[in-house]
Every structure is written in structure tokens, then in C-alpha cells.
Amino acid sequence: MSIKDIGDGWLNFLMTKFFNKDLPIERKRAVEERFNICIDCDNLKMFKTKYSSAKLRFCGVCKCSFPGMIFSKGKKCPVGKWGPMNSEYKS
């Protein structure tokens, strides 16, 4: 995953969550599908920092942070459960 993919993912996440920006419908569906796949995946890990009660999630395989990774157009699942947006998904 490139720096561009990381920036794209987090920018889109922040724009939808904090600035009420809507994603195009196809992208929104892809994000929802990715979310549902990741949330049930055994590779999604969670940890708590000693400085906060917040629980942070990340992929145990590629180490990308969740949910930022599901908002990136170019990101693909490291175990092949979903691909880059605008490509066919392996659900």
C-alpha cells in the first residue's frame, strides 16, 4: 500500500464522518462491503493504548489501520477477500 492509498483512505473516511460528504454510490457500496468482510475477518486485530481507552483496529496481515484502509480506492485485501475499487470483488 502506498502513501497515496493511505492518504486517500483516511481523507475519504474523515470527509464522510466529520464533514458529512457523501461518497459516490458505487464507492459507498464498496466501502460497506469491505467493512462487512473485515469486521468478520480473523485477521482484524484490536489493541488499546496505555494512554487512551480507545480501541484501535488494524489488519494483522498488512498492518493497515481500520477503517481507513477500506476507504482507499487502490487498496486490496492482502488475503484476497476484496480488491481495488472498480474491480471485481472476491467475497
pLDDT tens-digit readout, 26-83: 888 999 999 999 999 999 999 887 887 778 899 999 998 899 999 998 899 999 999 9
63: left (phi over 0), alpha (psi -120 to 50) or beta: left
Q: 1 in helix, strand or coil?
A: coil
Q: Give the pLDDT of residue 16.
A: 81
> How far is Cα 22 from Cα 83, in angstroms, rounded to an integer?
22
Q: 46 in helix, strand or coil?
A: strand
Stretch 12-36: mean pLDDT: 84
**pLDDT band (50, 70, 90) for residue 89:** very low
Greater pLDDT, 27 or 21: 27
Q: Give the pLDDT of residue 6.
A: 76
pTM for the whole structure: 0.77
